[in-house]
Amino acid sequence: MATLTYREAVARGIAQEMARDERVLLIGEDVAEAGGVFKTTQGLRERFGPRRVRDTPISEEAITGMVMGAAMNGLRPIGEIMFSDFLATCWDIVANQIAKTRYMTGGQIELPLVLRSANGGGSRFGGQHSQSVENWAMAIPGLKVVAPSTPVDVVGLMAGAIRDPDPVIFLEHKALFATKGEVPDGELVDVLGRATTVRTGSDATIVALAAMVPKAVEAADILAREGISVDVIDLRTLVPLDVTTVASSVARTGRLFTVEENPRLCGWGAEVASIVADECFWDLDGPIVRITTPHIPLPAADAIEDMAIPSADRIVETIRSSMQ
Catalytically annotated residues: 129
Sheet hosting strand 230-234, strand order edge to edge? 196-199, 230-234, 204-208, 256-263, 289-293
Please say whether the beta carbons of 144 and 94 come within 8 A. no
Residues 6 or more apart from 224 whose CB is under 8 A from it? 201, 230
Yes or no: say if 279 and 247 are a contact pair by the CB < 8 Å rule.
yes
Q: How far apart are CA 276 and CA 209, in angstroms?
A: 17
Q: Say if residue 240 is preceded by a cis peptide, omega within 30 of 0.
A: yes
Q: Contact at 8 Å (CB) between 224 and 203?
A: no
Contact of 240 with 268, CB cutoff 8 Å: no
Contact 4, 181 (CB under 8 A): yes
Distance CA 39, CA 163 (A): 23
| Angstrom distance (rounded) from CA 156 to CA 175 | 20
263 Cβ contact list (under 8 Å, min separation 6): 132, 292, 293, 294, 295, 296
- Cα–Cα distance measured from residue 120 to residue 174, given in angstroms and rounded to the nearest whole number: 6
